[in-house]
Structure formats: structure tokens, C-alpha cells
Amino acid sequence: MKIKYDLIHKDKNSEARLGVIHTNYGSYETPMFMPVGTQATVKTLSPEELKDVKAGIILSNTYHLWLRPGEDVIDKAGGLHKFMNWDGPILTDSGGFQVFSLAKPKDITEEGVKFKNQYNGDNLLLTPEKSIEIQNKLDSDIAMSFDECVGFPHTREYVEKSVERTLRWAKRGKDVFNNPRQSLFGIVQGAEYEDLRKHCVEELVKMDFDGYSIGGTAVGEPKDIQYLQVEYSTKYLPKDKVRYLMGVGDPIDIIENVIRGVDIFDCVSPTRLARHGHALTKFGKINLKNAKYKMDFTPIDESCDCYSCKHYTKAYIKHLLNAEETFGARLLSIHNIRYLIHLTEELREAIKEDRTLEFREEFIKNYYGEHHE
Amino acid sequence: MKIKYDLIHKDKNSEARLGVIHTNYGSYETPMFMPVGTQATVKTLSPEELKDVKAGIILSNTYHLWLRPGEDVIDKAGGLHKFMNWDGPILTDSGGFQVFSLAKPKDITEEGVKFKNQYNGDNLLLTPEKSIEIQNKLDSDIAMSFDECVGFPHTREYVEKSVERTLRWAKRGKDVFNNPRQSLFGIVQGAEYEDLRKHCVEELVKMDFDGYSIGGTAVGEPKDIQYLQVEYSTKYLPKDKVRYLMGVGDPIDIIENVIRGVDIFDCVSPTRLARHGHALTKFGKINLKNAKYKMDFTPIDESCDCYSCKHYTKAYIKHLLNAEETFGARLLSIHNIRYLIHLTEELREAIKEDRTLEFREEFIKNYYGEHHE
């Protein structure tokens, strides 16, 4: 079935929205953070561990799965859910973000994007049609339109042309889309130009997508620009459709963008931070490789309900990291993902009580307080 | 408490023994395979996963924990069980095997073994007393005497001298041993010389250890020599004490040595094989990186009751290995450890019914059959 979004309550003092998204695999409250399973696995974690941290939708990457193991392997396996043993909803990106970071500007044409396979050097072409074809085969619950992701900085002139191309590509993808149990999102581009964002939204809405993503973020732009990009998109997006902000997972950014009306987030940061020994806490990020944790026999966060905090100490996790044992990254991944999901739970409570702005103030005070490393 | 061993049934046609070992953390049937948690973690696995594959005792390494994080960290954490969140029994080795592989012959003196810290180059000395002191602090359930592990090949003259030194070291360690909830094992050396093994056993038994290990194996000796080493040890060991063969985990070797009267095994092989993409099956080892598994949507073994075989296909695990995702090694580690533990379960059934020799014949026929890669 197509996803359905119900707006439950809008914060009286901001654009923050409490909602529910109904999917092929159950209903989930928003705002929501989606863990990223790039290669059909959320790094170091099992599906049971994802359930345990209360993950709803997870994200997987079309680009990576296209190259390895190939969409036909996953199709023959019975789709991505069966392949990776995940009986919750899956959203796939379009591959656009990945190929743009690999392609040279001259390789971006009206047809699509040319680039080299990073594993064997083969010449490849990803088009709007091909991206949708792959995603149809992966059989995710939510697919993304293939868009042009413009970096930062950029010229207004380039962004103008790029928005038009993104709109033509959205149309081409929608025309070949043929998986009835899958939903398709359009992606709003237009950088930090309000009129271009507005125009992009209006044209996408005419095509009537099942939900809308906000793109062109997480490409190195300053925070204030990111927040403007979001504001200029949500301002014009329909209230009855879900909004997904791509690639954003910093705790402060989640809060700021929830306040600007975003419903869904994803980011590789919780697992990437984990591999580097970092834990997210309400008092900011801490680095467990730091010598001061050698004899610290307390959990990362006494009040956290995750498996790692219930059973393991900072001293043990520090030891695992020093000894290069993967169980260390696993324990930190569990904690960091749970941290972001718990943050969205707190935001949902705050929205319900119209105190999202106060929540932000309190959160920032702790996060950037004296404990911050 | 000290461990206690009850011999339940001896196979009528071989030396194979069905027994029960009573520990601080419950009672477990033997023959038993112990997963190895070198650095206070069984590589890639959680304690819950170890319980799930029916692990009983696990092994951890004195040498590694001495260097990282240091026995004092673990002592202050409340012992190894608390440190690593394992509420089952733990056996620690003496560090002897590791330092002998690092030390030059001239560095082995009556006092102990000199070697360089592999992480920072510091000069270190491990003595029988120091090994016991570390193990007492780690607070494992079963500690090992510090012995001289002679490599292969060797001269009889060297082994003769070495056995005497191992006996003097066993005595020195026992004299300083002071953890009342811990048991201490003596280690039988003597290479493939029956008279030396017999002598070593007799002298160790006079010192009255809580159990006995068979050492000098897994050092590169041919299989027939290994089996003789074991035979010449178990032949003289007391029937009412448990026998542990160090470092042996090949399925055929487990069967052959159970038939020769061994009760406990350990080996890093199931997790090491996993990291290289190998799965143990009743038809021999298979390499899941092999191209033929690309579209193989069956589990490693349909009849296996492990988590990996219940939920994942060869194609998925192959994909994870190719994509260098640690969840692949984790799924294979679960399977391989479960495989060896299940093998000991089958052996216990066979012993009960006095058909251990038939079991070996049947097993070898499958294992070295036409499916073997």
C-alpha cells in the first residue's frame, strides 16, 4: 500500500508537527529518526537490535545495492526485506547523492549522470528511470525520485537550471514507476532561494507524490543556510504529506528542523561516530578513547534505556575500542542510534504539550554546557 | 567454590567420557567446547548470543588482558565477569602460550620468560607467580598454571628439562595462588614421549590440582603426534578430574580427542574462520565468498538451529562479506561456534549410547565427502 500521513498535532508556537505515518509494516509516530543501512545492514547491528532501540523506518542506499550485490540478487531473494531479514518499513534513496559526489560536472547531462564504478572502474550511467527501476526491484516501501543534488557554494544561475532538471527528472521517474506496494517521494531542491524552493514545491505537488523530501542539505552548507533551506521548503509543502529531510542527524539540527516542520530524518552519523569511539550524550559528544575513562565504571548515560547503557561501563567500551574489538563499535552504535530515536520521542512529547521551543532551549543549554569535550 | 567433576558414563568402546562440571556459575555437561574471548569479548558476539549458542565456559587470555586494559582495571571493575557482562564460568589461560611465541629461547630462564610488550616495546617478565597473581585478580573461575610450551619439532633432551621446569613452575604458582573461589589446573607437558607425559602427570597429581590441561598441542605438530600426546596424557590422568585439551578446535580433532578421553576444548578457529568467510558444515568447510553462493537463498545448514541459519541466506552473508560489513563475520561466528558446540552435544549423545566410534566413522564420511571444498 501507499504510505499515509496523519497530522496529529501542530505545536502552537512553531511549525513542529506530531504525526503518524502508516506503512506496509505498521504505523510509526513522527518526528522520527531513520537509522541508515547503506549496504542492506545497519553497520554492526542486527534487526533485533534495531527493534530494541525502537527503530521505525530504516534507510538503505540504491547506489550501493545496485553495485553490490546488484538489484537482481535482491529481487530474486524476494526483495530487500527478506534479503536482510527486516520486517519493518524501508526507505531507499535514489543514488543521486552518491553519484554526484563521484561524478564530474561535465558528466551530468539531461539523460542522467555518468560515473565510474568505484569497485571495478566500469563506466556507468544512472538515470531517473534506472534509479526507479532499481528501487522498484529492491521493493522498499518508500522510493526517492532521482534529483540533482547541488553542492555548496553554488551560483543562483546554476541552481535555477538544476531545479528545472530535477523537476523533469522527477516526472520521468514517476512515469516509469511501477511497484504498487511502494510509495514515491519528490525531492525539493532550490538551495537557499525561497522563490526557487517555492517553485519546486509547487511543480512537485502538481505531480502528486506520496511524500516530499528536502534535498540539497548535508552538503557542507552552514547551519543557518540549512535551516533557511528547510524553512523555505516546509513553508510551501502540503500539510497532509510527510516531509523528510535528507542526511541530517546532528541532535541540534534535528531539533531546529523539527521546529521548522520536518517529520523524518536520516544520517550515518550515529554509526560513524561509534566507529570513531564517540558517544552522544545530553551533555554533548564524548570520546570514549579518552584516558579519563580507563577506570570509569559507570555507563555512558545512567538514564539511557539502551542495551549498552544497561549492561556495560565506559571502561569496558574504552577497552574494546583500544583493543579494536568490533563489539565496541556495536555497543556505541546501539547507544547512539537509541540516543537520536529517544531525542525524537522527547520531541514528540514536547510537541504534544506545545513546548518545543522550551525543549530546544533546555537541550542546547545542556548540550553545549561545561561538560562538552 | 572449586569446580567439581562428575563422570556420568564412559563409552564402552573408547576412552570417551560423558561428565558434568560444576562451577560458580552452574553445571555444564562435557565434552564441551569453549569459545575464546581473548580480549574479554568473543570476537563480534554479545554475551546473549553466546548463551543462545549454548556456550558454557568461555576462555579469556591472561597475556592480552595483562597488557590491555591491565588486571588492575578488571580487578577494580569487580572481576572479569562484571567487566565483560558474562554471568557464566570463565577459564583463563596462563599467558604461557602467547609469551613463548614472542620470546627467544635465551629469554626463557628458571625465573620466567622475558619478552617485549607488543604494543609499546617495554621489557616484560612473566613468571609463574605473576601469571597466578594476574589470574587471581581477573577472578576467572578456572586458572591455569604457567608452563613451558615446547614447540614442534624438538629434541627429547630439551623436553626432558622442560617438563621438570614446568613442574617446578606449577609448584611455584600453586604456592602463591590465593583466590578461594577460583580453581587451578596443572598442565601436562612431555611432548610425544609417553614416559615423560606419565611422569609429568604423576608429579602434578601429587600436587593435587582441581583439573588438568594437556599442553604442547596446537603448536604445529602432525595430527597423529597430537593424538599420541593426548593418549599418553589421559591414560595416566585421574578419572575423577576434568581434562582440558588446549587450543584444539578442528571438528575431527575434537572427535578424535574425545575418543581419547578429553572433556574440554577451546580454539579461536570458529571466529577466525568466520572473519575469513568460512562456515563449518557437516560436509566440511565452505567459503561463502565463493561466487557460486551469489544467488544461493538457502541457509548455511538447513538443519542448524543457530540464529544465522534460521534467518539468513548464504547469498546475504556472502554480500555482507564482500561489502566488508562486520555483521557478516558476526553471523558466521554465531554459526561456527554453534556448530562446534552442537558437535559436542552429538558426541555426548553418542557416548551415552556407547557409539562414539560409529559416530566418528559417520562424521568423517560426510566431512571429507564429495561436497568438501
Q: Taking every pair of C-alpha atoms in chain A, what is the biggest distance, in angstroms?
A: 60
Q: Which parts of chain B sit beneath pLDDT 50?
A: 372
Q: Give A334-365 pLDDT, tens digit per residue.
A: 999 999 999 999 999 999 999 999 999 999 99
* CB atoms A69 and B327 under 8 Å: no
44-73 in chain B: CB under 8 A from chain A:
44-46, 64, 68-69, 73
Query: Which of A97, A47, A95 lies closest to A71, judged by CA?
Result: A95
Which three cell numbers, joined as nine digits, stand for B226?
Answer: 597430537
Q: Which of B63, B290, B319, B321 best probes binding to A when mutated, by most A CB atoms within 10 angstroms?
A: B319
Residue B83 touches chain A, beta carbons under 8 Å: yes
* CB atoms B39 and A320 under 8 Å: yes
**Beta pairing class for A58-60 and A90-92:** parallel
Could you give the residue ranges of the DSSP H alpha helices within chain B?
A: 47-52, 62-67, 71-77, 80-84, 96-102, 128-138, 156-176, 194-207, 223-234, 251-259, 269-275, 307-311, 314-322, 326-352, 356-367
CB-CB neighbors (< 8 A) of A46 in chain B: 327, 330
pLDDT of residue A102: 82
What percentage of chain A has pLDDT greater than the value 70?
A: 99
pLDDT of residue B370: 56
The answer on pLDDT for A372 being more than 60 is no
- What does the angle CA A27 – CA A32 – CA A35 come to, to the nearest 5 degrees? 100
Handedness of CA B76, B82, B88, B94 (dihedral sign): negative
Q: Give B37-70 pLDDT, tens digit per residue.
A: 999 999 999 999 999 999 999 999 999 999 999 9
The answer on pLDDT for A312 being more than 80 is yes
Q: Searching chain B, which residue's CA lies closest to the CA of residue A77? A: B297
Residue B327 touches chain A, beta carbons under 8 Å: yes
Tell me the count of A-B CB pairs closer than 8 A: 101
pLDDT of residue A371: 53
The answer on pLDDT for A216 being more than 70 is yes
Q: Taking every pair of C-alpha atoms in chain B, what is the biggest distance, in angstroms?
A: 60
* CB atoms B319 and A69 under 8 Å: yes
pLDDT of residue A321: 98
Handedness of CA A71, A77, A83, A87 (dihedral sign): positive
Say which of A43, A85, A319 has its CB closest to residue B325.
A43
Average pLDDT, chain A: 96
Which three cell numbers, joined as nine digits, stand for A176?
Answer: 516509469
Query: Which of B25, B34, B75, B41 lies closest to B183, judged by CA?
Result: B25
How distant is the Cα of B292 from the closest Cα of chain A, in angstroms?
Answer: 13
Which three cell numbers, joined as nine digits, stand for A198?
Answer: 517555492
Decide if B266 is catalytic: yes
How distant is the Cα of B366 from the closest Cα of chain A, in angstroms?
Answer: 29
Distance CA B367, CA A221 (A): 59
Radius of gyration of the CA atoms of chain B, in A? 20
Distance CA A310, CA A304 (A): 8
pTM over the 0.95 mark: yes
- What torsion do the CA atoms of B292, B293, B297, B298 make, to the nearest 10 degrees? 100
Q: Are B215 and B244 in contact (CB under 8 A)?
A: no
CB-CB neighbors (< 8 A) of A41 in chain B: 320, 323, 325, 327
- Burial (CB count within 10 angstroms: exposed 0-12, middle 13-18, buried 19+), residue A48: exposed
